[in-house]
Structure 1
Amino acid sequence: MAEGQPATGHASLTIINSGQPIARLAIDRSQLTVQHRNGNRNIATPSIDELSITAVHLNNAIALPFARALSLVRRLVVLDLRWCWITDLGAVTISRGLVAAMGARGSALRSLDLSGNIIGPTGAGAVADVLRACGESLHEFSISHNKIGDAGVEAVVDALPGCPNMRVLDMDVNRIGDRGIKSLGRGLLRGGGTLEELRISTSFGRPCRLTPDGVAPFAQWLGRTQRLRVLRMNDYQELNSEAAATLFSGLAENRSLRALELRRNGIVGKTVDRLVDALQRNAALEALYLEGNMIALVGSIKIRRALNGKDRAMRDLRLEYPPVREQRRKKHGSRWLRALGWSGAFLFGIIAFNKHREQCELVNILSDHLYLREQEARRRY
């Protein structure tokens, strides 16, 4: 049996000799200790459909007993270890426990989420062994918001051919560069035909200059894949015209993609024209997100015209610039507001000046009156 106490205070995960299945075990925002009570060699190990541990400090000292506990779980379908401060050493330790369990009893793991930790390239290599051990059972894998870098991407994609049923791959915010995109493209060409959702945004605030040579394998896969529905590729910031031409050539040939995110990729000038050409040839896209690219009004108009075809079911388009009519409306509206503002200020000035003048006249009248009274008093005496 596995017992957990979520929410506050101290939580424990204890593996003892009971074979009762557990549908879902969630532990979050608390400390975690793991114990294994082995009073009998022939214990009946537990079955947990979903184990979710969020915002718990799984440091290196806890990782080892936790991995031993995981190795005793007979059946695990969903494992979420999000925002748990798992380091490279912790990832290696936990991965070994999972691989040992799968080697002994086979794999039922369908979803593995390690997002929000501090896993580097070494830890990513160990996690790749888990992917290979999962094989056909694994459908979703997330290692977003870590520090795996280009070397970690290479390790993960090398394991993809052994996961023929992978549907969702999330590697967002991992300092992915040109080398990582190239390795990703090569790996997807070998074993990425089943992917339906791919997230490969790099880290925000870290400019990455993609090259045509680095983008070419990924663009080739993008043009070939027939199942990809969602692609998130944000924050590369320096996507020049040549690399854009290579990437968008794959977009033009794609017929399955429904949602595309290209936020903050430096899409300006000639790069906009490359994108417009690809959009005119791709009639399947339904949602396009281009915020943060500083696309000028002319480029915005070109993109909207390219997406206004009769056979297109465009649901969502996000740009910095609103439609031209809205621009004119806002422009005229702002003129009226400015005119009213200046008129109001002018009228207020006139009113204030008149009041000031009236006050001055009143003071002058009083002064003259007092002066005359004083002169009259002097004459009497």
Structure 2
Amino acid sequence: MTATSASNEFRLWAFGDAHVGTDKQFGRSSLAEAISQSEFGGAEGGPPFDWDIAIDVGDMSGAHHSLPDDTEGEEVRKQFAALRTHRREDVYSVSGNHDRSGLSESEAWWWQKWIDPLGEHTETSGVDSAARQYPVTGTWERYSFRVGNLLFLMMSDRNEPTQTVGRGTLGGNPGGVVSGETFDWFKTMVDDNPDAIVIAVHHYVLKDTTVASGEWEGVRRNAAGAWEEHYHRPFGEGTPQGASYLYWVDSKPDSAAFEDFLAARPGRVQMWLAGHTHTNPDDNHGGKTHIEQRWGTWFLNVASLSRHHMPRTTLPISRLLTFTPGSADVRVQCYLHTSQHAPQGWYPKAERIIQLNRPFVSG
């Protein structure tokens, strides 16, 4: 199952927000179940489907007021072992806000030890960089890889050391965070590759792009007028107004750095894959759906695999993107991993065809 298969189609499975530790508390293996469903079908009738690589947009951990630990890391590796017709190296990941290590800990130690996109800790992560079908270049925080003329720019969420308040004793901010170094890298990669179809990947979408990604749209007011949990929890010492989008860039709050960059180069970044906000595929809170186009960029919220993390809105879903050589059209299908919203399997109502500004070339 590669981009050089008989059909020549390239199939990208996009998922995120497995929150493995949370679902495990309820007896559910969120990651392993989704993997098994993709390869062999689901117990409720969902069909299997072919995919060449998977993009994981982050939040493997379910840690909330705590920190991700080795026990959960071992569980993540165990669930990745559900892969049978694919390799662990066929999954390309970025870190989410729940994957962050504490401000007093070694930066991203948990992420680097157990998810390890560069294969630098094979003994714990099981990732062998030499086995990547499409090799990666970069660091744990930012890396890239190519599939034909598709250029993937993978940016992890991180704890900004200057932000000492936020999620309780964890510190850090509940809104999305990108360092100045990663933003500079992103700009350079976009400007230096004008012939590529650039696909950005981050845990968060940008402000006012997809469902509930506007200011204060991640939380809601209760009858007394106080902010309370909705899609996200309103950590009052953090920035609850920006809980649904990439809020901090280079230590600047609500920076609009990426938004301004894309607005100045409409269409240069063709797609932005993200998650973070878990909801059903028919949700259009704030007048925005899961798939929207802004500045010539298609934004896709592909979350989540979890069923129990933030249960008020969470529904296990993922997306399958099919690229056809010689075509600028990308088929985006929505897979329901349970039968809560509709029968398990493909959800035709949410299927879309999005058009890029140039055709896919497989290589």
TM-score (norm 2): 0.28
Q: Which has the higher helix share?
A: 1
Higher relative contact order (CA 8 A, sep 6+): 2
